[in-house]
Structure 1
Amino acid sequence: MRKILLKRILQQISITLLWCFLLQTNAFANALHRITTNKHLTVGKRSDEVSGRVTDLADKPLVDVAVRLKGKPNTTVFSDLDGRYLINADKGDILVFSVAGFVTQEIAFTGQKQLNLKMATDNSPSDSFNVLYTKQKKATNVEAVAELRTSDLTKTISSPINGTFTGRLAGLTTYQSTGEPGNDGVSLNLRGQTPLVILDGIPQSFTSINPEQIESVTILKDALATAMMGIRGSNGVVLITTKKGSEGPQRIGFKAMYGISKPTQLPRTLDAFNYATLFNEALANDGKPLAYTQADLNAYSDGTDPIYHPNVNWQDQILRNETPYSRYNVDISGGKQAAKYFVSLDYLDQQGLFKQSSENINGTNSDYKRYVFRSNVQLDLSKYITTNLNLFGRLQTGNEPGVGTGALWNSIIQTPANAYPVFNSNGTLGASQDFQQNNVYGQSLRSGYQVGYTRDFRVDLGVKADLQKLTPGLYFKATGAINTYLDQTTIRSKPLVTFQQSTDVLGNVIYTQYGTPGQQSNNLTTNTQNRVFYLQGEFGYTKSFGKHNLNALLLASNDYRMAGADLGYNVNGVSGKAAYNYDEKYLAEIAFAYNGVKERYPSGNGYGLFPAIGLGWVMSNEDFMKDQKWINSLKLRTSFGRTGNFNANDYYSYKQFYNSGTGYNFGQNTGGTVSGIEQGTLANLNLTFEKARKFNAGLDASVFGNRLSLTADYYNNEFYDLLQVIGHNTSITGAPYGQRNMGKQRYSGVELQLTFKDKVGEFNYFVSPMFSTVKSKVLYQDEPTRQYAYQVRTGLPVGQSFGYVASGLFQSTAEINSSAKPANLAIVPGDIKYVDQNGDHVIDENDQVAIGRGKAALNFGLNLGASWKGFDFSALLQGVANNDIFLRGNSYWAFQGTRGQAYEHNLDRWTPATAATATYPRLSVGTNPNNELNSSYWLRNGDFLRLKSVEIGYNFPVSLVKKAKMSGARLFVNGTNLFTITGLKNLDPEDYFNSYPIQKMLVAGISVKF
């Protein structure tokens, strides 16, 4: 019997997959053979025909307005390019007119043959959010959530979808530290934590998706919104929901973009003359012989000896002024009530900054290409059973020079202009004693190339059964997903051979060779290979009885993951939620999860219960508010709950491991040794997951005819059982200590998002400012015993910087002799002076204190736009305040190592002549033990305001696009990262370590619809 049942189930699944595949094939066939669609539809013969034209208030025709008979299924028709429709109806029928962006209207049919309609723009927000596993009505929602739609995401040009969130959602901040094509990962921070990314209900680690495939992005911020994630809910969630097919005629959209990108900022390095001048000065300051004579300096200045006195601008030699960017997207959607589909294909090509050479068959630039395919298909197998098959595929190829993009970029900015000539007199690659095999030109164009290949593939299959025969409002849904990820690199490197040209005592030119010629090597490396197998089953129930409304969901899931060579793990358990409201006035919601991971924790420590509760009051629905006509809606809400945080990197640290140790001598013969083992990191037998208690209070309001909307939140989240290394430890065991669940931190803040929309005649406009704060505090950490109270970390912000407080530069020997200074260091005028915190007249670790402003981080954005007739405009300003950064290391300090680089800001160094205006200490070669201490001298104000994006577009008139058999066409020009206001000199406030520069982009495009 079981075998028969299993066979029937497998047959049903096979039929479902076959139907979904055929439906996708049919969709593509239709797309190829039918570019236009007849939207002038007629429903089966009825007693009367009614026709008409649907327009907006400015009498412009509206396309694809759905016209249906209320309460009668399968009666929907759609307006054509002129806004015209035709439908059959009986007297007494109610005609319902609806289209996105306009207020839905209902009109009774009384027998009239002609029925024209003007539809008003809907200024109110959409009526629901996409939340975990379901939708939530905004009117009755008590969770702390915020949402973006496709139109918002397409305004900012960014390869990872993360970059399109910047400055648009209160509570969510982004940070981009590099602009390398394909590797310009934008990190996310939600209320001080790194959120979990969920794509269509399943956790994912990638966000390289094109925005046209996305229906919405919802951030889930409080415990109630993320409780069902249980052990993975503490850090919040970024929920990405992709588009699905909808009932209606086939719609085809095509979008093409092409533009250029340039660095927002490049390092300002010194030319050869200034470099040599400052290098001599640094040597003199260190009491060492000078490296360059006056004749050398003259040759660097006048450029008369490019071989022995080169002056090479490596950025000009290697980098292009601008690079091309292009992206193309096509999507097809439509279907009938029983079968709906959405299919999308996207191609992106972004080239890097490095110049190319015709001498190479294969490119050596840092290029990136991406292909993304998505197909979401829904099929009704019967009146009560619906299936959906979602396919996602992504192919990425990245190209790099043979030495790698990072290594080449470091060479470009850290090789002095006078290090060596690009080419010697005989055409060979130049070199010098200090720079033997890192000729930048050779690294860029003659070191071979690397090709990176990344493949993602995901299949989601869901079956939903309507169980209304058992009880109305009940359903069951089963979901399965498979995701594979492969990242490989093929390295085809060539040995780099360079030569140092010199002259012997007889005046003969000689060449000293560095490196050995050889054949190109070819290696294939698998960087990582991940697999995900996900299963989920859920029961849902919706019921209204009188003024009582109930929604409930119960879910069980198992998420199996393997990452690289690590052993796999399962996150499994049950979760649920129930939302109740009385007359959409008094709101209550509870949610919970009981889940965990057994493979990473000792027995009994891997599972937990995570409950949350929320309450809300729609004050505007009270009788005493009815006379307040200016208030459209006003809702108060609050929530509290317990969540968990599981880190997959807790890799069996509850077990004790032993490592290979050093050899041991036996007897008097020290040459006789045997191998041994030594104890590894001490095991934590009580290891468990981290936890959080989270409180949220919020207000949602809409006033003045829904023209002004407001969302405000206050949160207070306490994270405990955080994994930290013991502070009070001892080395007597000879083994390092592992992490223990003992840390406690608090994050709190406020968030505010406003939107004002209005129109004056045909001029529509909106302004939407937002800001959010994050204040953190260490409630407990196991610190070592501190000698002074000012060095205690507990009670200070999380990640508080400690160092010395600088009080300027020493100006004289007399000042040095009378001041506190580090012991055993030769301090001279021009060195940094530090504050003696404990008054012992010695600068040492006891004088380190908290440095920086220590204020709550403030992130803000201003989104604004307008439209008039066919023109539209939008802009986004994004900024950060109370942001302290350190400028240090070989990307800022001069002459690191033997002959490190120097920069324009090093010209402002201290000398006796510049003592009153100097902003940089005296120069030294190599490490300066006093000046390079971690101190407030290198602390800078990293606040900035960036024009993140601006776009101007034009929609062609319907009368014109109609002639081309299109339903719409739009031209646009978009700029991203066009300018930045910051107090930092010659540095980008996000990429201040001189990594591959962030790009500013100018793109033109066209979008057409059929």
Structure 2
Amino acid sequence: MTSNLCINRLILALTLCGGLPFTSKAELNYSDKAIVQQSTIKVKGTVVDEQGESIIGATVIQQGTKNGTITDLDGKFVLDVPEGSHLVVSFIGYTNSIVSAKPSMTITLHSNISDLNEVVVVGYGIQKKVDVVGSISTVNSKQLESRGVSNVSNMLTGHLSGVTITQRSGNPGKDEASIRVRGVGSFGATPEPLILIDGLPGSWSDLTPSDIENISVLKDASSAAIYGSRAANGVILVTTKGGKDGRTRVSYNGSMGLSKAFSLPEFAHSYEYATYYNMAIGKNTYTDEMIQKFKDGSDPDNYADENYLEKLLGGTAFQTKHELNVSGGNGRVQYMASLGYMRQNGLVPHNYYNNYQGRLNLNAEITKRLKLNIRLSGNVADRHEPSTPGALDLSGVTSIIQQAVRYPGLTPTYMSDGSLGLGPKLQGTPISWAECASFYRTDDNRFKANAELAYTPLKGLTLKCVGGYHYGASNNYDYRCNMILGDGRGTGPSSLTEQMTLTVYKTFQLLANYNIQIKKHDIMALAGYAWEDERSRNLSGYRNKFPSDETPYLDAGGADGQLNGGGGYDWAMQSLFGRIVYNYDQRYLFETTARYDGSSRFPTGNKYAFFPSVAVGWRVSEESFWKSAPSLHFFSNLKLRASHGVLGNNNIGNYPYQSVYKLGSKQNYVFGGVYTQGAAVTTYVDPTLKWERTKTTDFGIETGFFKNTLTFNATYFYRKTMDILYKPAASYSAIFGLAVSQVNTGELENKGWEFEIGYQNHYKKLQYHVNGNLSIIKNKVLTLGMGNVQQTNGMVGNGSDLFIGYPMDMFYGYKTDGVFLNDNEVASWYDQTAIAKGSRAGDLRFVDVTGDNKVTNADKVYLGSRIPKYTFGLNLGLAYSGIDFSMLIQGVAGVKGLLTSYAGLAFNQEGNIQRWQMKENWNVQQDNRYPGYPRLEVTSGSGSPNTQLSDFWVQNASFVKVRNIQVGYTIPQNQTKKWGVSNARVYLSLDNPISIDHYKKGWDPENTKNNGTYYPVMSTYTLGLTLSF
């Protein structure tokens, strides 16, 4: 925690006046005579924090004596001590430091992140950490520094209990993580948490790490109900840095790094592919002569041996970040201005992301009663990726990667004469697609302005008026070139689709805060009104047959076949909210919150809803009976807390309750002998739609031991989501005579435990800390309402991934017991012809679960879920004489993944074969009952009996990953001051270097939904430099 000059001056004044415990001057000089008898030195020093900023009012004492002093307004001190003495340096909120006395020295104190005086950002305000009765997890700026990942959302991984963060892509500019707070809260509306930056909605791409002061995640009703209808999936509050009184401070953080794919599957060489293809199909499609040509490379134009995926993703990519921050203040005005630039190159050709960011935070004291806070920020970003050439029924870089996974490298990208090869489908290869003139580009420009005017008419009463304006302009370009292949044929006419989108968000808030203290009673009250409005419009155009790839502009294309389109949306909200916080004698805590929200997304009669909460807390460690018990003195803190409340979710479409008339040939009719254009309602919508509601209950305990060097917190939570928006079963369409849209019909629960433990201490110059967290979350579907359908096995659900009594996103399929070793076993096994006709040796043996001597749909069972039951993180840190080391470990357990499609199936739609499939298939292990892969076969788009969803393909997706390893060195200040630099640190950071898992080699267990169709997550090696002036 960084000191504020005003607070430091107060502490200094209180210390000098006896307001804080300290030794008097007479006591300090109690042993002048003894000191004179020894050789003394005059120590002149400065006490600073980790950022090199002076700490005012720090205590400096000769160890074992009462000889001491405090630092002045510049953090400096002078003290006479005997030679060989040690100094104990301390300050509130920092870990004590013991150093050897020298004539000239600079002493760095490290923040004590468990300090009970720490404040926590809550909705529309701040509270002391010890007074918080809600469930809130926090991350400070120190924990996010110097990481090599490009998106702030990925930096949070492993730091927060109850928060599951999943990174599913390394695509530059599209690598934002998926964040789930306390499980998945809905299978209807979007389960994303609400993200607020300085109190107003934002996104991770709006931020640079150096701008962040702290992040709070509100997880229960007590902390989140103040945000009502958008809080059901958690609220993430990001506070950006502000200026501080004192001299102008300039800081720079720059880094350069190299990234590579975290993991890639290994595929067969062409001659191996041909050999195993013959084995799979049962005949010599590839002759021995052909196989030999693949092997010796004697005819590369016709018998190539390429690895498309390795060529596409096997290299390294450069990235760089530069952030400049200027801050300061003069007592009346504080300012912070920052500029940031990031360049992130992808592994694929023509794939990159540029992001330019600027921010200005200004706090001004107009009068003693009137203050103005302004927050301005802007982003200019462009993202570029290759796209497929004209006429291909594919688009974007992920489609190119998918086809690189799919196709064996039997045909060359380039012929020996330099022309483009024809490729597997006479359309070129994935490599030529990535290198051609096709592209998909997004230009994104955003500007955000927030202003707050605060007036204090009476002591304890503050009135605030807040206004916000956000402007966003996005242009998307999808250009497809006509790629000319080696035989002169083109892939199809070139085309361009261009779309422009403008979005404007406005908000207005009125807030009143009142704080009063009456003897032992502390009362804080908040009342507020908020209005929000967002409007978006888009226009699109399409043309084809461009004369040149050098002119990808709409007006250069042919007018024949041109298309245009457009659309948009509007939504608005208005809210009333309030909070009362009561604290009696720092022991008994009470808080109640309520919000009344109205949204344009719901019909008249259901536009408004009420979201209340209540919480209580008891600081047991402040009781006199506790303090007087000698056996309990090792307790620094013991707090019990509980909360209950209701939250809402309005993350649905903007017009879900409005009927839409559809135009089309099916709606046309004959009127008066003339065929006439018609319109009709084709989908029934529920005119009584209402909010999804989540009831939450929390019980927690917070403890600290040995002056909070050791802390332990535990929380039990229960969340029940009701009125989930879900599309009813198809049978209801027959009743209504048309398709049925979403209705409020489902229920879901998430319950579990969260644990946090931390230990920090020092041994002489060695500072160290260990922080760990563990979350145990059980997700269960309670009902689908109108979506309930009883299956043949008695289970009730949608027949796919939602069943009553089981987690969401589950796998529903067959159990297996190895493979048939011979045809006799097929004949003696249960009759499985209902699901697997024509079974033979090497095929999977499906288990008869019901015991009726046959395998049918009734034998399908629950096989696991993609939602992890256990999530954990471990953060380790060491610091010694300017050298620092940290490691972040994170993992999940009790989670499954499905390995299928091009990632799991050999020769899928005549696709490729991986090395593990070559080694582990039944054809080469015919005496193995449980091979790693069944009989080889060439499958079509409809698959085969072996490819049905079964436990054979459902894999253990648990993992432990080292998310970050970092080593840094802070150059001694007596050296950096010669350069005019107050603080300088160099560091080496490794992100995603190691994974321990049981998933099939080359595939990421964190990304199991898009089998073979995802941009791999990056391992990044970063070298960086931070400077302070």
Please give the range of the TM-score, normalised by the shorter of the 2 chains: 0.7 to 0.9
Partner of residue 710, structure 1: 712
| Pairing 1:306-317 to 2, within 5 Å after superposition | 306-317=300-311
Assess, with a 3 A threshold, how the Cα gap between structure 1 residues 653 and 680 changes in structure 2: closer, same or farther: farther
> Secondary structure of the equivalent of 1:829?
coil
Are the aligned partners of 1:66 and 1:99 in contact in 2 as well (CA < 8 Å)? no
Partner of residue 322, structure 1: 316
Q: Does 1:877 align with 2:889?
A: yes
In 2, Cα distance between equivalents of 1:156 and 1:263: 17
> Secondary structure of the equivalent of 1:158?
coil
> Secondary structure of the equivalent of 1:821?
coil
> Secondary structure of the equivalent of 2:864?
coil
User: Could you tell me how far 1:610 is from its partner in structure 2?
Assistant: 0.9
Are the aligned partners of 2:761 and 2:769 in contact in 1 as well (CA < 8 Å)? yes
Assess, with a 3 A threshold, how the Cα gap between structure 1 residues 192 and 63 changes in structure 2: closer, same or farther: closer
Among candidates 340, 348, 361, match of residue 342 of structure 2: 348
Among candidates 753, 756, 759, match of residue 756 of structure 1: 759
In 1, Cα distance between equivalents of 2:663 and 2:262: 48
Assess, with a 3 A threshold, how the Cα gap between structure 1 residues 743 and 274 changes in structure 2: closer, same or farther: same
> Secondary structure of the equivalent of 2:154?
helix
| Pairing 1:30-179 to 2, within 5 Å after superposition | 55=46, 63-66=53-56, 78-79=73-74, 101=94, 123=112, 124-125=114-115, 127-179=118-170
The percent of aligned pairs where both chains have the same amino acid is 26
Assess, with a 3 A threshold, how the Cα gap between structure 1 residues 787 and 406 changes in structure 2: closer, same or farther: closer
| Pairing 1:400-799 to 2, within 5 Å after superposition | 400-403=385-388, 404-418=396-410, 420-432=411-423, 434-468=424-458, 472-499=459-486, 511=487, 513-515=489-491, 524-526=498-500, 528-564=501-537, 565-597=567-599, 599-626=600-627, 627=629, 628-649=632-653, 651-655=655-659, 657-662=661-666, 674-727=676-729, 729-782=732-785, 783-790=788-795, 793-799=803-809
Assess, with a 3 A threshold, how the Cα gap between structure 1 residues 84 and 649 changes in structure 2: closer, same or farther: farther
Q: CA RMSD in A?
A: 3.2
User: Could you tell me how far 1:119 is from its partner in structure 2?
Assistant: 9.4
Partner of residue 260, structure 1: 258
User: Could you tell me how far 1:233 is from its partner in structure 2?
Assistant: 1.5
Q: Does 1:933 align with 2:933?
A: no
In 2, Cα distance between equivalents of 1:968 and 1:61: 7
Assess, with a 3 A threshold, how the Cα gap between structure 1 residues 183 and 453 changes in structure 2: closer, same or farther: same
Assess, with a 3 A threshold, how the Cα gap between structure 1 residues 115 and 959 changes in structure 2: closer, same or farther: closer
Assess, with a 3 A threshold, how the Cα gap between structure 1 residues 968 and 57 changes in structure 2: closer, same or farther: closer
User: Could you tell me how far 1:102 is from its partner in structure 2?
Assistant: 5.8
In structure 2, give the amino acid aligned to 1:905.
Answer: W
In 1, Cα distance between equivalents of 2:329 and 2:427: 62
In structure 1, give the amino acid aligned to 2:369.
Answer: Y
Q: What do residues 618-639 of structure 1 show as CA deviations (whole Å, max 9, x unaligned)?
A: 0000001113321111110100
Among candidates 945, 960, 964, match of residue 945 of structure 1: 960
Are the aligned partners of 2:405 and 2:902 in contact in 1 as well (CA < 8 Å)? no
Q: Does 1:821 align with 2:821?
A: no
In 2, Cα distance between equivalents of 1:416 and 1:533: 53
User: Could you tell me how far 1:208 is from its partner in structure 2?
Assistant: 4.4
In structure 2, give the amino acid aligned to 1:463.
Answer: L
Partner of residue 937, structure 2: 924
Partner of residue 384, structure 1: 369
Are the aligned partners of 2:641 and 2:700 in contact in 1 as well (CA < 8 Å)? yes
In structure 1, give the amino acid aligned to 2:352.
Answer: D
> Secondary structure of the equivalent of 2:275?
helix
In 1, Cα distance between equivalents of 2:846 and 2:654: 41
User: Could you tell me how far 1:643 is from its partner in structure 2?
Assistant: 1.2
In structure 1, give the amino acid aligned to 2:320.
Answer: S
Are the aligned partners of 1:437 and 1:497 in contact in 2 as well (CA < 8 Å)? no
> Secondary structure of the equivalent of 1:852?
strand
In 1, Cα distance between equivalents of 2:749 and 2:401: 39
Q: What do residues 584-634 of structure 1 show as CA deviations (whole Å, max 9, x unaligned)?
A: 10110010001120x222211011111100000000000011133211111
Aligned length, in residue pairs? 903
In 2, Cα distance between equivalents of 1:980 and 1:960: 40
In 2, Cα distance between equivalents of 1:549 and 1:685: 47
In 2, Cα distance between equivalents of 1:815 and 1:61: 72
Partner of residue 879, structure 2: 867
Are the aligned partners of 2:261 and 2:314 in contact in 1 as well (CA < 8 Å)? no
Gaps of 5+ in 1: 1-38, 70-75, 86-95, 105-113, 356-364, 500-510
Are the aligned partners of 2:821 and 2:926 in contact in 1 as well (CA < 8 Å)? no
> Secondary structure of the equivalent of 2:904?
coil
Assess, with a 3 A threshold, how the Cα gap between structure 1 residues 345 and 524 changes in structure 2: closer, same or farther: same
In 2, Cα distance between equivalents of 1:65 and 1:665: 82
In structure 1, give the amino acid aligned to 2:237.
Answer: L
Q: What do residues 127-181 of structure 1 show as CA deviations (whole Å, max 9, x unaligned)?
A: 2101111001111110110110011012532222110100001011111111111
Are the aligned partners of 1:63 and 1:79 in contact in 2 as well (CA < 8 Å)? no
Are the aligned partners of 1:65 and 1:97 in contact in 2 as well (CA < 8 Å)? no
Q: What do residues 680-700 of structure 1 show as CA deviations (whole Å, max 9, x unaligned)?
A: 221202210100110001111
Partner of residue 807, structure 1: 817
User: For structure 1, which segment, 857-866 or 304-313, has the greater mean C-alpha deviation from structure 2 after superposition?
Assistant: 304-313
In 2, Cα distance between equivalents of 1:953 and 1:876: 15
User: Could you tell me how far 1:913 is from its partner in structure 2?
Assistant: 4.6
User: Could you tell me how far 1:734 is from its partner in structure 2?
Assistant: 3.2
Are the aligned partners of 1:659 and 1:680 in contact in 2 as well (CA < 8 Å)? no
Partner of residue 232, structure 1: 230
| Pairing 1:967-1006 to 2, within 5 Å after superposition | 967-986=982-1001, 987-992=1003-1008, 993-994=1011-1012, 995-1006=1014-1025
> Secondary structure of the equivalent of 1:477?
strand
User: Could you tell me how far 1:839 is from its partner in structure 2?
Assistant: 3.9
Q: What do residues 112-132 of structure 1 show as CA deviations (whole Å, max 9, x unaligned)?
A: xx9999997663435210111
Are the aligned partners of 1:161 and 1:208 in contact in 2 as well (CA < 8 Å)? no
Are the aligned partners of 2:52 and 2:983 in contact in 1 as well (CA < 8 Å)? no
> If the length of structure 2 is used for normalisation, what is the TM-score?
0.83
Are the aligned partners of 2:47 and 2:54 in contact in 1 as well (CA < 8 Å)? no
Are the aligned partners of 2:793 and 2:860 in contact in 1 as well (CA < 8 Å)? no
In 2, Cα distance between equivalents of 1:1000 and 1:976: 6
In 2, Cα distance between equivalents of 1:293 and 1:872: 62
User: Could you tell me how far 1:55 is from its partner in structure 2?
Assistant: 4.7
Assess, with a 3 A threshold, how the Cα gap between structure 1 residues 822 and 606 changes in structure 2: closer, same or farther: farther
In 1, Cα distance between equivalents of 2:692 and 2:418: 62
In structure 2, give the amino acid aligned to 1:684.
Answer: D
In structure 2, give the amino acid aligned to 1:903.
Answer: Q
In 1, Cα distance between equivalents of 2:108 and 2:409: 67
User: Could you tell me how far 1:785 is from its partner in structure 2?
Assistant: 3.2
User: Could you tell me how far 1:787 is from its partner in structure 2?
Assistant: 3.8
Q: Does 1:843 align with 2:855?
A: yes
> If the length of structure 1 is used for normalisation, what is the TM-score?
0.84
User: For structure 1, which segment, 825-834 or 247-256, has the greater mean C-alpha deviation from structure 2 after superposition?
Assistant: 825-834
Are the aligned partners of 1:770 and 1:862 in contact in 2 as well (CA < 8 Å)? yes
Assess, with a 3 A threshold, how the Cα gap between structure 1 residues 53 and 657 changes in structure 2: closer, same or farther: farther
In 2, Cα distance between equivalents of 1:929 and 1:742: 36
